[in-house]
């Protein structure tokens, strides 16, 4: 028996979905603004909204003289604002890298950290530091990108070897082995150089504290460029995931898509690690949450991944400083508390049958 669809019901359903989508984006933007505010005010010394307002409008001498605690201005301009910008950019970068990996591999377990790219980038930076090479902004980003490139080269070989079988289980397993191997090498080098542990332990644990302001322009340039190219690559990614033969028949080279996406992942991961250190699980959790909220449409999924990545990074950083204001806690702690059980649940869901 055929079911008759009433035009009024269809229109009401469409209107409800439209309102729901607008509400989700409004909530995401609101939460982002709230997390930014928390990141600016939380920590030691704890600041108020009045302090934030005065620091933003304190160009005139009269207002400058009215500030009773100039140290608060210094904290905001020299510490909190660079920390906030770094958190927004690196969070969005890891969300974008995770989206690209999961979208292209069609595997929810893939992320820069589970495939060893993050650990490879961190290994290269630790090696440069131990060798005593001056860590200028150029050297810092170069070392991180070289480490990511080395890990990414192995990743590309694995992706191309497995693309005909359409099975990414081997890719996940070998990526996890690469991550463990790079982490073991990093630990071994630090044990041989005891002074290096104290010098970079906060960075190595994944931290937004003491982000050098001179790194931010380069970080912004890399991230914003990669975000733009990611949107341009969405049609090619969609075609490749539906079938390489179909993509080739429409003039899209699957190999070129793989290469461009891999370069984007390496740039985003290397730039993030160079600034904040290896903060894990962001690229794993964020694309899943984004897909649950906005669905599988590529452009909406990518946009939500960018927003959620920025939200999770700034919120984790702000909450750790709000809970323990006088302790240099790392945002990687709440990310690991969320990400590790999430990863185990994903593995269970995928392989329980």
> What integer pLDDT is reported at residue 107 of this predicted model?
82
What does the block give as tokens for 261? 């996406």
Asked whether the beta carbons of 151 and 116 are under 8 A apart, the reply is: yes
Q: How far apart are CA 41 and CA 47, in angstroms?
A: 5
Residue 305: closest CA among 56, 117, 39, 28:
28
Q: Does the domain formed by 21-351 have CATH 2.40.30.110?
A: no
Banded pLDDT at 90 (limits 50, 70, 90): very high
Asked whether the beta carbons of 145 and 207 are under 8 A apart, the reply is: no
Residues contacting 275, CB < 8 A, separation 6+: 86, 89, 90, 211, 215, 216, 219
> What integer pLDDT is reported at residue 5 of this predicted model?
53
Question: 237-259, pLDDT tens digit by residue?
Answer: 999 888 878 888 888 888 899 88
Averaged pLDDT for residues 92-111: 90
Give the position of tokens 């104290």: 198
Work out whether the CA dihedral 119, 120, 124, 127 comes out positive or negative. positive
Give the position of tokens 């869901």: 349
- DSSP 3-state of 289: helix
Enumerate the domain spans of the chain: 21-351
Q: Quote the distance between the C-alpha of residue 165 and its chain's center.
A: 29
Residue 273: closest CA among 143, 89, 118:
118
Q: How far apart are CA 98 and CA 288, in angstroms?
A: 9
**Single pTM value for the model:** 0.86
Banded pLDDT at 352 (limits 50, 70, 90): low
Residue 19 CB neighbour total at 10 angstroms: 10
Alpha-carbon dihedral 153, 158, 161, 165, rounded to 10 degrees: -150
Question: 169-211, pLDDT tens digit by residue?
Answer: 777 788 888 888 898 998 888 887 766 676 677 777 788 877 8
> What integer pLDDT is reported at residue 167 of this predicted model?
62
């Amino acid at each position: 028996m055929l079911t008759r669809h009433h035009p009024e019901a269809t229109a009401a359903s469409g209107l409800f979905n439209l309102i729901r989508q607008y509400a989700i984006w409004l909530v995401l933007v609101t939460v982002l603004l709230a997390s930014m505010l928390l990141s600016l005010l939380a920590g030691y010394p704890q600041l108020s909204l009045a302090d934030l307002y005065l620091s933003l409008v304190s160009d005139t001498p009269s207002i400058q003289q009215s500030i009773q605690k100039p140290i608060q201005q210094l904290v905001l301009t020299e510490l909190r604002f660079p920390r906030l910008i770094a958190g927004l950019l690196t969070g969005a970068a890891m969300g974008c890298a995770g989206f690209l990996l999961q979208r292209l591999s069609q595997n929810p377990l893939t992320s820069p950290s589970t495939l060893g790219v993050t650990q490879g980038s961190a290994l290269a930076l630790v090696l440069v530091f131990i060798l005593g090479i001056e860590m200028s902004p150029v050297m810092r980003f170069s070392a991180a990108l070289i480490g990511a490139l080395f890990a990414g080269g192995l990743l590309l070989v694995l992706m191309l070897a497995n693309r005909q079988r359409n099975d990414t289980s081997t890719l996940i397993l070998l990526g996890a082995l690469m991550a463990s191997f790079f982490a073991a090498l990093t630990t071994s080098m630090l044990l041989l150089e005891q002074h290096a542990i104290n010098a970079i332990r906060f960075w190595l644990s994944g931290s937004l504290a003491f982000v050098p302001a001179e790194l931010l322009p380069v970080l912004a340039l890399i991230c914003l460029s990669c975000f733009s190219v990611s949107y341009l690559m969405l049609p090619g990614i969609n075609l490749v995931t539906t079938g390489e033969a179909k993509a080739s028949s429409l003039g899209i080279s699957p190999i070129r898509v793989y290469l461009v996406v891999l370069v984007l992942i390496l740039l985003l991961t290397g730039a993030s690690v160079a600034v904040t250190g290896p903060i894990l699980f962001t690229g794993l959790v964020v694309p899943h949450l984004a897909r649950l909220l906005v669905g599988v449409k590529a452009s909406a999924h990518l946009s939500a991944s960018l927003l959620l990545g920025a939200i999770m990074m700034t919120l984790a950083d702000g909450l750790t400083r709000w809970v323990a204001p006088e302790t240099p806690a790392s945002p990687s702690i709440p990310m690991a508390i969320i990400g590790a059980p999430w990863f185990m649940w994903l593995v269970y869901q995928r392989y329980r049958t």
